[in-house]
Amino acid sequence: MMVRRSRQTTLLLCLGLFTLVNLVPVLWGLLISLKQPADAFAIPPKLIFTPTLAFHREVWMERGFAGYLLNSLVVAGATVLISVPIGTLAAYGLARMHPSVSRPLLFALLAVRMLPQILLAIPFFVLARWLGLIDTYPALVLALVAVNQPFTIWLMRSFLADVPVELDEAAMIDGCTRWQAFRLVVLPTVRPGLAVTALFSMLLAYNEFLFALILTGSHTKTLPVAIAEYGGEDINYWSLSAAGAIGIMLPPVVFIIFVQRHLIRGLGFGAVKG
């Protein structure tokens, strides 16, 4: 009993240390956003200072942060609403296929996801310009759906593969069609997995920089592109960039807080099998 408690204490300490190390850049960025540039980059660092919200106020009130945030939320939300249903249907089909058929398709999807983004950015830009979609939401959303779809399919397939085929068969014996068995029986079973997939899909779209830089303009510019323009070689703008970086973290954090119950279940889904 004592040995087990000692191991748990050691594990908790290691996890706490790991979390602290990962939070240091965030905390440091928060401190920079609250300092004047002279204090933010003083050597040695100043831990006692007079905090200021001037840079946060400038980001939100004068730099159009709210508009860029709205653009990012629209793009991320549309990407999730399109990619998750399509990816779930494709993953269900692949999970129910014979491995000799599904395995080559899965590796083909993985190969597409492994392609460098810059290799795909130019064709997307040429196609969007030819269709007159530069600086529109559909151009960026469709590009993000295409690029992130393999990830969505792979992730949902791992959840659906843990659902016994007998559930489908039992539902169809009771009179359900294949679609009804999927919608009424299988889909509720993998609801935590849907939350996890939606979260990661949202984060990938929300944090996208390269495609947003190429396909957007003044009307649809997203936060990662806008924040990159805040900074510069002048050290006076670094506190402004730090304030923007803290602001861009707020929507994902709020989303995770609301779905954390499903997220925890989804991360552990299929880990323990009876």
pLDDT score of 235: 59
**Lowest model confidence (mean pLDDT) among 8-17, 138-147, 241-250, 256-265:** 256-265
Is 205 inside any structural domain?
yes
CATH number of the domain encompassing residue 91: 1.10.3720.10
| Full domain range(s) for residue 144 | 26-45+52-165+192-267
Whole-angstrom Cα distance, residue 91 to residue 152?
8
**Encoding tokens for residue 235?**
């050290």
Nearest residue to 53 (alpha-carbon basis) of 39, 26, 34: 34
Number of Cβ within a 10 Å radius of residue 181: 20
Whole-angstrom Cα distance, residue 185 to residue 266?
17
pLDDT score of 273: 46
Domains of the chain: total: 1
The Cα angle at residue 43 between residues 41 and 46, in degrees rounded to 5: 70
Whole-angstrom Cα distance, residue 197 to residue 82?
12
Q: Which residue has the higher pLDDT, 37 or 190?
A: 190
Is 97 inside any structural domain?
yes
Is 172 inside any structural domain?
no
Q: Kindly report the pTM of this predicted structure.
A: 0.81
Is 215 inside any structural domain?
yes
| φ, ψ dihedrals at 270, nearest 5° | 80, 0
Is residue 133 within 8 Å of 211, Cβ to Cβ? Answer: no
Whole-angstrom Cα distance, residue 125 to residue 72?
19
Q: How confident is the model at residue 130 (pLDDT cuts 50, 70, 90)?
A: very high
38 pLDDT more than 80: no
Q: How confident is the model at residue 185 (pLDDT cuts 50, 70, 90)?
A: confident
Mean pLDDT over 74-101 rounds to 90
Whole-angstrom Cα distance, residue 140 to residue 75?
7
Whole-angstrom Cα distance, residue 63 to residue 21?
31
